[in-house]
Amino acid sequence: MRHLMSGPMRAPMVVDFNSVQDLSEMIGKADLNMIRLDLLKCLASLPNMPEILKLNDLSESLYSLDFSSLSGWTLVELLTNCLPEQFSLNGLKGDMNMVSPLMQPITRWPFYAFLGGAMFCLLASSACHLLTCHSQRLSYIMLRIDYAGIAALIATSFYPPVYYSFMCNPFFCYLYLGFITLMGITTIVFSLLPFFQKSEFRKYRASLFFLMGFSGVAPIIHKLILHKHQPEALQTTGYEILMGVLYSLGALIYVTRIPERWMPGKFDIAGHSHQLFHILVVAGAYTHYHDGLIYLRWRDSQGC
């Protein structure tokens, strides 16, 4: 139970094992006897392994380990700290002169920023629908928080594509990130203004969020030009187009009030435009989540 509860606390380290094509050559160049001795010495210092020094054979040592209280993630981290030279392939020449993607993954904060923005948006929307009927004052507050959550979701959705696409080009990376962050803050502030909540501004609200999302076309086109030979660039672009279609379709349904405008009273409980809007937003966020995983695999395996 403890492992099930602690598991989600860390995002999975994504590794592209197809990138390690010269593994046999790497093993052939390595001093396996020295690695064996160092590994035995290292394992002796790990927790939950008091009997390791009594074993002389490495294979017996590994098979005898009790991994029930030591996750694979923790084992990798401990081995990396204990044997930094063996677990970084810096000493090898030629094609294998790179850092193992398993041991040194790229930063995850842009991916976490998107997940945080998505969770804030969905939680704010849930709280709004739950509490807006309490009173006019509370409805006034919750609607503003709801719009702020939508702006946060759109803004943070840019973070993984922009950062991982231009992490090797800091100027464009910070330029795009700064622009979308400023635009997101502006949209949130504008959404908090009282007059913006009036029904006659319904189209303007949707248009503002649509324009903020549409501003992502520039970095996507730039990414395709910069990484036109990378298959990941095309894969991520496909996900991003699908995400944009889902978000845009949701905004269009929200503004036009389809389908209740065609059959008034038939969709008051289920199937009305606001429900369809939320379904499409969740689908867009889920699509973007898979998009971010492709970016992580790409940069973990290749770096800059």
Please state the residue numbers annotated as binding site for Zn(2+): 129, 274, 278
Produce one character per residue of 202-212: b if its CB has 16 or more CB atoms within 10 Å, e if not: eeebbebbbeb
What count of Cα atoms within 13 Å lies in the side-chain half-sphere of residue 90?
6
Q: Residue 295 in contact with residue 236, Cβ under 8 Å? A: yes
CB atoms within 10 A of CB 27: 10
Tokens at 263, concatenated: 């059959």
Long-range contacts of 114-117 (CB under 8 A, 24+ apart): 114/156, 114/157, 114/159, 114/160, 114/288, 114/289, 114/292, 115/289, 116/156, 117/152, 117/153, 117/155, 117/156, 117/157
Q: Say if residue 121 is exposed, middle or buried (CB neighbours under 10 Å; 0-12, 13-18, 19+).
A: buried
Q: Tell me 227's DSSP state.
A: T
What count of Cα atoms within 13 Å lies in the side-chain half-sphere of residue 138?
9
Question: Sign of the C-alpha dihedral, residues 221, 223, 229, 233?
Answer: negative
Residues 6+ positions from 282 with CB-CB distance below 8 Å: 122
Annotated binding site: 129, 274, 278
Produce one character per residue of 45-75: b if its CB has 16 or more CB atoms within 10 Å, e if not: eeeebeebeebeeeeebeeebeeeeeeeeee
